[in-house]
Amino acid sequence: MTNFNVVPNRRNPNNLNKWTWYPKDVLPMWVADMDFPAPKPILNALHKAVDHGVLGYELPSKALKETVAARMDKLYGWKIRSEAVIAVTGIVSGFSVAARVACTPKKGALVQTPVYNEFHEVKNNIGIPQLDAPFVKLVKGNILSYEIDWIFLKSRSRKQACSCCAIRIIH
């Protein structure tokens, strides 16, 4: 497990990132997994690969696909064959592949907003309609949170047919 209470100094002047792009008095408030040290099993696997020395292209192994399929069953009750697991280079490219397969010019994609700008380009790249389903912002004292607007989601999705959905996890 990663200890999220340990925050490394990310203001390395040799690296251009959100921590060095802005002046020191500006605090970039978005959080990403790369803002924290990687878990030990991942670091160990990377060290093993680097020690091997061959860093070329590799296809996903049968064991990886079986692990993903088993995890989908354990976490969500989804029964999928390991052969159906497809590796993608990132979440936006994965959503784009799903939208290309599932959507048509009449049946588009539902996207929960706010979301990375790149998600909004999918509709333009493949010529499909996009239905935005904004989160409801809740403020209780100094606590800010977001929730799914189920009433909006149900009413709008009935009016506009959608074949694909980008479910956004707020963290």
HEC sequence for 70-137: HHHHHHHCCCCCHHHCCCCCCHHHHHHHHHHHHCCCCCEEEEEECCCHHHHHHHHHHCCCEEEEECEE
pLDDT value of residue 2? 66
**Domain coordinates of the chain in residue numbers?**
60-87, 90-166
pLDDT value of residue 62? 95
Alpha-carbon span 85 to 62, nearest angstrom: 10
pLDDT value of residue 55? 83
The owner of tokens 């959905």 is 165
**Does residue 79 contact residue 73 with C-beta atoms inside 8 Å?**
yes
pLDDT value of residue 91? 86
pLDDT value of residue 16? 81
Quote the Cα angle for 75-78-82, to 5°.
100
**Half-sphere exposure of residue 58: CA atoms within 13 angstroms, side-chain side:** 8
pLDDT value of residue 169? 56
pLDDT value of residue 84? 93
Give mean pLDDT in consecutive 10-residue pieces for the chain, a chain of 171 residues. 74 81 82 79 92 85 95 94 91 90 88 86 92 89 88 77 68 43
Q: What is the DSSP letter of 65?
A: H
Dihedral angle at the C-alpha atoms of 152, 154, 159, 161, nearest 10 degrees?
Answer: 120
pLDDT value of residue 171? 43
